[in-house]
Amino acid sequence: MKFAFAGLLTLAASALAFPTRGDHGSHGGQTLPWDDKSVYEKHTIKAKGIEASFMEYGAVITNLWVNDKHGVKRDIILGWDDTTQYNVNPQHPYFGALVGRYANRIKNGTFEVDGTKYYTPINEHGVDTLHGGLTGTDRRNWTITDKGEDYVVFEMFSEAGDQGFPGNLLTKVKYSVNDNAQWTIEYDGTPDADTPILMSQHTYWRLDAFTSSDATVKDHVMQIKADKFIKCDEYEVPTGEISTVKGTPLDFTEPKAIGKDLLKAQECGTNCTGYDNAWVITDPNPKEKTLVVYSPVTGIELSINTDQVAYQFYSCVTMDGTIPIKKTQLDNGAKHKMVEQYGCFVLEAENYIDGINNPQWGEQYTGLVKAGDKYTQKTTYTFGIHK
Ligand SMILES: *[C@@H]1O[C@H](CO)[C@@H](O)[C@H](O)[C@H]1NC(C)=O
Ligand SMILES: *[C@@H]1O[C@H](CO)[C@@H](O)[C@H](O)[C@H]1NC(C)=O
Ligand SMILES: *[C@@H]1O[C@H](CO)[C@@H](O)[C@H](O)[C@H]1NC(C)=O
């Protein structure tokens, strides 16, 4: 067995490669300086009943406006008012970011491809790699390569050895909105060596825009068409086992309030109460809405269609009242000032987490993309009013 110490070389290699943000995109292909502030500028796209803003830093979505049941426009996602905070704030909750090249956790920061072991930076509890390493795609400066009234395309080049991963990878993500109040995310990336890829979008939702008297999302009602979940250990690293949700607090097969079993849910790591798990979709089918959630206060309903096979649902267990609510919400009827525990949630459409270390689940779940093959994902969020 060969050993590749790519992880150790990463810092040196990436420091040289990062400043050429424009190499693979617009800006005339020129090298951009490190102090380029344009990465924090908001770029807005819109269609009937929906408007969204993004920035190049992290390919982050900063604002998402849809109408509530009274026709009032509401910004229903979390983030920082000052967009430089997405980079510099020591609390880095991955607000609205594109997470990858391999999101969620990699056991021991180690995996094997074609008989070679690769090492990715251990950045959580000293036992795993979370969200692609120290400088995952969420901390990179993407480049806008195309934009219209209702869409924007970002590109990012991750060189071979970046965060220890094999193969150069040019990644694209297209965010678009349409007159059916849908937000669609399309990813594609072609590596030049075999590498695991698992990308996702890490938006924090609050479908009542904090206008409920409840500081939490316990009243939001959700259904996930998933009959199984991926068992994890005390560090939230998959054990290899896939379990039924039946008879557990993780059963969302019928619509139920997030708060109903929230305090009984304890599969989210040591001393953790709440949800932070990967649900396995029973019948994956991009034509079906396999997840639906709404706020009874604003009536705003979000449903998801995806070609992925799992959803990570995180109920903001570690929020603790130290991050302020955005001005777009404070000035628009928010009843709270800070984001409290359980005051939001994240839904990530993705492949089976840590599938690269669990080949027994099946080859299609490893996330391994062969040299020259294309990684793609299409996920659509549809907004409406719950009937
Ligand atoms: C992204 O751009 C910001 C602003 O220029 C800079 O401070 C940061 O170091 C860049 N990040 C990376 C990973 O290149
Ligand atoms: C865990 O990672 C360390 C290096 O970080 C490595 O030496 C060890 O072989 C890995 N263990 C397994 C089981 O892969
Ligand atoms: C978990 O909670 C117990 C009891 O409060 C405590 O003794 C222990 O240190 C906690 N473990 C961690 C990892 O926080």
User: Whose CA is closest to 258, among 308, 207, 213, 304?
Assistant: 207
Residue nearest to atom 1 of ligand 1 (CA): 141
Ligand 3 pocket residues where CB is under 6 Å = 270-271
Residue type at 16 in one-letter notation: L
pLDDT for the residue 19: 38
**Whole-number Å distance between alpha carbons of 126 and 107:** 10
pLDDT for the residue 122: 98
pLDDT per residue of the chain (387 residues) written in tens, 0 to 9: 333 433 333 333 333 343 345 433 333 344 555 568 899 999 999 999 999 999 999 999 999 999 999 999 999 999 999 999 999 999 999 999 999 999 999 999 999 999 999 999 999 999 999 999 999 999 999 999 999 999 999 999 999 999 999 999 999 999 999 999 999 999 999 999 999 999 999 999 999 999 999 999 999 999 999 999 999 999 999 999 999 999 999 999 999 999 999 999 999 999 999 999 999 999 999 999 999 999 999 999 999 999 999 999 999 999 999 999 999 999 999 999 999 999 999 999 999 999 999 999 999 999 999 999 999 999 999 999 999
Residue list, annotated binding site for beta-D-galactose: 104-105, 202-204, 276
pTM: 0.92
**Can you tell me which residue has the tokens 């990570």?**
312
Domains and CATH numbers, the chain: 5-15+42-385 (2.70.98.10)
pLDDT for the residue 37: 86
pLDDT for the residue 159: 96
Q: How many Å lie between the centroid of ligand 2 and the Cα of residue 237?
A: 15
> What is the 8-class DSSP label of residue 217?
S
Q: How many Å lie between the centroid of ligand 3 and the Cα of residue 271?
A: 6
One DSSP character per residue, 282-297 reads SS--TTS--EEEE-TT
